[in-house]
Amino acid sequence: MRTNRLLLIPVLAISMLGLSSCGGSSTSSDGESSADNAVAEVGALTYVDIEDAAEMQADWSAENTVVYHFIGEPDNMHPTNGNASSRTFLQMYTQHYLMASDLIELKGARPDLVKANPTISENELEFTYELRDEPTWDDGSRLTMEDVIFTFKANKCPLTNNPHAKPYLENLKEIVVDPANPRKFTLVMKKKYIQNIVFLTDYPILQEAYWDPNKTMKKYSLAQFDNPDFNTNDKTDLNAWATEFNDAKYSRKPEFLVGMGPYKFLEWKSGQSFTLVKKENHWTYGLAERNPYQESFPKEIIFKINTDPNSQMLEFKTQAMDASTYLGTTELLTLQDDENFNRNYHSRFTNTYNYSYMAFNCRPDGVEHKKFFTDKRVRRAVAMLISVDEMNEVLNKGKSQRQVGPVSPLKKEYNSDLTLIDRDVMGAKQLLEEAGWTDTDGDNILDKVIDGEKVSFEFDLHYMTTTVVWKDEAAMIAEALYEAGLKCNIVPMDFAILYDRAKNHKFDAMLAAWGGNSSPDDFTQLWHTSSWASKGSNYPGFGDVDSDALIDSIKYTIDDSRRHPMIKRLQDRIYEDQPYVFLFSATRRNVIHQRFGNADMYFERPGVLINNFKLLAGGSIQTPSAEAN
């Protein structure tokens, strides 16, 4: 999967598809909307078309500000250096891309800063685009090819602190500008690749004049940055540029969080909220026709952080929040029993391509982190001890669907031949004993001599503090494992800390989730050994030369009939090695206040287009129909 689709999600993916499909909201003439807790499914619709309320109610706010419920801060908002899904959510409003994600028609990518989809050469290696004429930067200067070329050089530069993103630029060979048209260009790729177009949705376009006033990048080529022997040590100018480019002020200080989007950062109150404000002038305002992606109806968007379930429900009962995709299943079901909530809000469950998991450190250093999970029998034993079905019933009210591997069940290449791992305490104990773990001292905790040292099976399980459900899930896992003599210490962590420890291999086990999408998967980021070595997102250290070769073949095979069997073989291998305990495929819990029109709900992450929320003035707003897509 591409980087902006495989980002660590600071929220538990807690419920899933399969109950029934549904279309738009059933809204009565008096504004009351019936609650719908069925799950809208991809396939029956490309998005959920919500009918606007007939009129504004007397107690609805007329303030053109969207207060959006959030549960965790992004690790940073640097345009290239970050790995949280929340940052890509915000970048939808503060940045622009050559090609951007397609939430409405689920076609993977759509033209954003370019006029149309590319013209593709017969060898499928050359993709020709032309920049739109209208886009301008905040200083009034026009978007140019120099900005585009700088963007990809900046991302490819070895000194740029974006290891998670670099693998997806490896296939870009060069950018050739048409000598007869300075706005027309061709991306020349090294190999046929399943994401030779959609990869562009990961990289916001940067203004060269702002990020590189000394034109340092003009001295270097993409080919140089591609060369593994390229030595940056003696490049004084490049090091100076990178030191400034990677500086922390471009990650968190609102005045430095710049971009081409219609919104800019107004303030960032750490742990409380961050606010985007609509720019006074933006190039999209002058377009004769605007699509939902180009609208910017709200004057402000306030992302308000609230991780307490009871407080979350109170804020929606009192209409203090306008929208959310982060409520827990229990909380939304409880709210849907409230007649007043249903009068004020549209609410739906929609399925997604996301999943949650427990990851093992399969390559620990043996000193700070002991070799608990280096044996796949131990990892399988843990999977056999965790009662995922019970967790589903207790935490998700039975709404989730279990997932057996890294491919969404919504996709044709999902390996349905792999069987779910049921709870089997006796079988798990037998595997642990075969792996050499026994209780030799009668303290009810298994132990083993490893590298000449007696080690008790007592490990830490990291989880995020973004929502109480993570804690509940971790506690249920710890209780289940203790029954077989494994002591699991649950350790809460801020998202940024958990992510930093994961990429630096400083953990025993961790709970997290990945965001997926409808596009063909590239498994490099999560499962290639290079992504472990470079401190990328292969946190467990899964893989070897054989799995790497399979992953490389998958991403360069365009033909589905050949690629899908390869993907199933990779799922077989991951299933056999058990680097994760795969938990749930996720549903999104959508809530949008009825005072806004265009309150449609999308299957693609992040599930909403806040910029398109239009404050009602008493009448319905015409929007594209789901059936038309």
Taking only the tens place, the pLDDT of each residue in 331-362 is 999 999 999 999 999 999 988 888 999 999 99
Residue 474 has pLDDT above 80, yes or no: yes
- The per-residue pLDDT for range 210-240, each reduced to its tens digit, is 999 999 999 999 999 999 999 999 999 999 9
- Dmax (CA) of the chain: 81
Which residues touch 278 (CB under 8 Å, ≥6 apart)? Answer: 262, 263, 296, 298, 299, 300
Reported as a pLDDT band with limits 50, 70 and 90, residue 282 is very high
Between these two residues, 168 and 270, which has the higher pLDDT value?
A: 270
pLDDT at 565: 97
pTM of the model: 0.79
Residue 303 has pLDDT above 50, yes or no: yes
- The per-residue pLDDT for range 532-574, each reduced to its tens digit, is 999 989 999 999 999 999 999 999 998 999 999 999 999 999 9
Within this chain, domains 22-73+255-348+588-615 and 85-247 share the same CATH topology = no
Amino acid at 449: V
Residue 321 has pLDDT above 90, yes or no: yes
Residue 138 has pLDDT above 60, yes or no: yes
pLDDT at 625: 37
pLDDT at 466: 78
Fold classification of 85-247 is Dipeptide-binding Protein; domain 1 (3.90.76)
> Domain 353-435+464-585's class?
alpha beta
Of residues 400, 381, 374, the one with CA closest to residue 389: 400
Provide the 10 A C-beta neighbour count for residue 65: 15
Amino acid at 366: G
Residue 504 has pLDDT above 90, yes or no: yes
Mean pLDDT for 428-451 is: 97
pLDDT at 35: 57
Cα(166)–Cα(160) distance, rounded to whole angstroms? 9
pLDDT at 620: 43
Domain ranges (residues) in the chain:
22-73+255-348+588-615, 85-247, 353-435+464-585
Q: Strand 458-464 relative to strand 263-269: parallel, antiparallel, unpaired?
A: unpaired
Residue 629 has pLDDT above 90, yes or no: no
| Radius of gyration for the alpha carbons in the chain, expressed in angstroms and rounded | 25
Residue 33 has pLDDT above 50, yes or no: no
Query: Which element (helix H / strand E) includes 482?
Result: helix 468-482
Cα(378)–Cα(372) distance, rounded to whole angstroms? 8
pLDDT at 519: 85
pLDDT at 618: 54
Amino acid at 228: P
Mean pLDDT for 70-94 is: 90
Write down how long the chain is. 629
Query: Which element (helix H / strand E) includes 265?
Result: strand 263-269
Between these two residues, 321 and 82, which has the higher pLDDT value?
A: 321
Least confident of 252-256, 397-401, 577-581: 397-401
Instruction: Return the DSSP state at 539.
Output: T
Reported as a pLDDT band with limits 50, 70 and 90, residue 129 is very high
Of residues 478, 492, 507, the one with CA closest to residue 386: 478
Q: Strand 65-70 relative to strand 323-324: parallel, antiparallel, unpaired?
A: parallel
Alpha helices, H only, 320-375:
329-335, 339-344
Mean pLDDT for 69-91 is: 89
pLDDT at 22: 34
The pair of structure tokens assigned to 256 is 């430095």
CATH superfamily of 22-73+255-348+588-615: Periplasmic binding protein-like II (3.40.190.10)
